[in-house]
């Protein structure tokens, strides 16, 4: 995802401790991780893993698939840190039976994957590609045969390039194009797949893909960002409307990236910048979805795009919210940053980080869920992504030691239990990610998997973190170890 280190406009210079974050139930930046312990989660809690199509499937020119914006972007020299592409990635398109068998062996109960729009509707609109849907049909059947509940996400950033050429997320018609695609997918698979997420992290797609330009389609600037963000919100609503009632028992939702936002210092300019960043990252999706309005800070900026009825469309009720949680952000005033003069600032001294420089705070996950409880009506929530990037050693005697990732996951699972104890409607947890994969602008060099992938041989080796999760999942369900 974000090459946050590259985006930090100030060095890790001395930063005073921030004021309270812009979250309903705040911690201070100095608050420790939640105490050590074994996660305690209810028996009905769903344990799963997440992936996305472009990051794992490969087979980009097979079965009638046509290019997406990520094919074009990753093939553009200089765009991906290590020069890799998603052409092969984890070759999951061919290896899915083995991957599903592995998930079953690990004891997963849920699997969140995304459908590639350019596999299902290669030109973005018009004819449905039966072969593309056949692939997902086979995947779903093999998951169900192993007792794994599929959760499908309709859009994880891989827009058909043909639609980009018609303006992509800048073209208001995309809300209708998306609805047609969503209908085709849910019509075919919704007899067996019940939870459906419309979009993955629309604010991240808008900010990085259409504002900073370090993700596909590589567009930059404030106006570009605003247009993309509004049309993403709109598509989430038209998508829900298009698929409602297509099959009995569907559970419809969407997936947002949420994080606590802290000002990088007590300077009023930084505090104001943090408020703007909170609006861009969090409430730009939450407020229209749950309250039918844009955050006050940006209401004026979005007003020219909002047509009568749009906010009602976006507010269509959802059955669940997926939350992707990685950690908090520290924000400073930056006059030239397109995000309303807000940019990433220095972290407080001694803040633990992962390899990407992302701050670690399991407590932040409790805070995010408490905000949903207190401000947004406590919707049923799944943590649909949570995980950590570290440099992993090569396997030794078939074992990949990843203690830092294992500890990250443990601490966040303790936080999940804590959030439930505090009354949050958290129903499940999907680790990011099942497999090491193509990590967007970072390419294959940055690994989030609990299962190691040797990209040359395509060999999979569960890391210790996978074995840790597996033991918890099996204990939770009272399943016998294989």
Q: Provide, rounded to whole angstroms, the least separation between the CB of residue 140 and ligand FCB.
A: 21
Smallest separation (angstroms) from ligand FCB to the CB of 455: 16
Q: In degrees, to the nearest 5, what angle opens at C-alpha 53 toward C-alphas 52 and 57?
A: 120
Nearer to ligand FCB, 65 or 215 (CB): 215
By beta-carbon proximity to ligand FCB, the closer residue of 128 and 434 is: 434
CB of 254 to ligand FCB, least distance (A): 13
Q: Return the number of the residue (188 or 463) whose C-beta is nearest ligand FCB.
A: 463
Q: Which is nearer to ligand FCB, 117 or 448 (CB)?
A: 448
The residue annotated as part of the active site, out of 57, 62, 165, 201, is 201
Please state the closest distance from residue 33 (CB atom) to ligand FCB, in A.
Answer: 20
Given the rule CB under 6 A, which residues bind ligand FCB?
A: 1, 52, 55, 200-201, 204, 257, 324, 385, 432, 439-440, 448
Give whichever of 277 and 448 is closer to ligand FCB, judged by the CB atom.
448
- Residue, CB closest to ligand FCB: 1
Q: Does the active-site annotation cover 57?
A: no
| Beta carbon of residue 432, minimum distance to ligand FCB (angstroms, whole number) | 5
Q: Which lies closer to ligand FCB via its Cβ, residue 47 or residue 208?
A: 208
Least CB distance to ligand FCB at residue 112 (A): 11
> Which one, 47 or 432, has the nearer CB to ligand FCB?
432
Exactly one of 57, 385, 442, 444 is catalytic; name it: 385
Active site residue 407: no
CB of residue 147 vs ligand FCB: minimum separation in angstroms? 26
3-state secondary structure the chain: CCCHHHHCCCCCCCCCCCCCCCCCCCCCCCCCCCCCCCCCCCCCCEEEEECCHHHHCCCCCCCCCCCEHHHHHHCCCCCCCCCCCCCCCCCHHHHHHHHHHHHHHHCCCEEEEECCHHHHCCCCCCCCCHHHHHHHHHHHHHHHHCCCEEEEEEECCCCEHHHHCCCHHHCCCHHHHHHHHHHHHHHHHCCCCCEEEEEECHHHHHHHHHHHCCCCCCCCCHHHHHHHHHHHHHHHHHHHHHHCCCCCCCEEEEEEECCCEEECCCCHHHHHHHHHHHHHHHHHHHHHHHHCCCCHHHHHHHHHHCCCCHHHHHCCCCCEEEEECCCCEEEEECCCCCCCCEEECCCCCCCCECCCCCECCHHHHHHHHHHHHHHCCCCCEEEEECCCCCCCCCCECCEECCHHHHHHHHHHHHHHHHHHHCCCCEEEEEEECCECCCCHHHHHHCCCCCEEEECCCCEEEEEHHHHHHHHHHHHHHCCCCC
Q: Would you please indicate which residues are annotated as catalytic (active-site) residues? A: 201, 385
């Amino acid at each position: 995802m974000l090459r946050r280190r590259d985006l930090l406009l100030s060095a890790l210079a001395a930063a005073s401790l921030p004021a309270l974050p812009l979250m309903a139930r705040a911690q201070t930046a100095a608050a420790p991780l939640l105490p050590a312990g074994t996660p305690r989660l209810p028996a009905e809690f769903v344990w799963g893993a997440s992936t996305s199509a472009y990051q794992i499937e490969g087979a980009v020119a097979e079965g009638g698939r046509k290019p997406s914006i990520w094919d074009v972007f990753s093939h553009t020299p200089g765009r991906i840190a290590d020069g890799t592409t998603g052409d092969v990635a984890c070759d999951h398109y061919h290896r899915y039976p083995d991957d599903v068998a592995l998930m079953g062996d690990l004891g997963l109960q849920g699997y969140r994957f995304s459908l590639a729009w350019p596999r299902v509707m290669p030109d973005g609109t018009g004819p449905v590609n039966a072969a593309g849907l056949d692939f997902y049909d086979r995947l779903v059947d093999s998951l169900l045969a192993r007792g794994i509940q599929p959760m499908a996400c309709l859009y994880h950033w891989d827009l058909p390039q043909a639609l980009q050429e018609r303006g992509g997320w800048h073209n208001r018609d995309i809300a209708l194009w998306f609805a047609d695609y969503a209908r085709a997918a849910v019509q075919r698979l919704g007899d067996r797949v019940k939870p459906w997420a419309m979009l993955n992290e629309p604010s991240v797609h808008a900010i990085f893909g259409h504002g900073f330009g370090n993700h596909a389609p590589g567009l930059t600037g404030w106006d570009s960002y605003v247009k993309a963000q509004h049309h993403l919100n709109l598509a989430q609503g038209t998508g829900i409307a298009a698929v409602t009632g297509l099959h009995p028992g569907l559970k419809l939702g969407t997936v947002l990236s949420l994080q606590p936002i802290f000002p990088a210092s007590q300077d009023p300019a930084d505090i104001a910048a943090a408020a703007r960043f909170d609006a861009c990252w969090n409430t730009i999706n939450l407020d229209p979805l749950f309250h039918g309005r844009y955050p006050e800070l940006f209401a004026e900026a979005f007003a020219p795009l909002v047509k009568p009825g749009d906010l009602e469309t976006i507010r269509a009720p959802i059955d669940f919210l997926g939350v992707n949680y990685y950690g908090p952000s520290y924000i400073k005033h930056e006059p030239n940053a397109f995000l309303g003069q807000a940019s990433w600032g220095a972290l407080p001294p001694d803040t633990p980080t992962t390899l990407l420089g992302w701050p670690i705070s399991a407590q932040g996950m409790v805070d995010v869920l408490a905000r949903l409880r207190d401000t947004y009506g406590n919707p049923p929530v799944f943590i649909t992504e949570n995980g950590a990037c570290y440099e992993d050693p090569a396997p030794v005697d078939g074992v990949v030691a990843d203690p830092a990732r294992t500890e990250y996951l443990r601490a966040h699972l303790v936080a999940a239990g804590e959030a439930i104890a505090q009354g949050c409607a958290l129903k499940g947890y999907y680790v990011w990610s099942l497999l090491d994969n193509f990590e967007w602008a970072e390419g294959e060099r940055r690994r989030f998997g609990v299962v190691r992938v040797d990209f040359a041989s395509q060999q999979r080796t569960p890391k210790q973190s996978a074995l840790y999760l597996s033991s918890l999942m099996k204990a939770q369900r009272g399943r016998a170890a294989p």
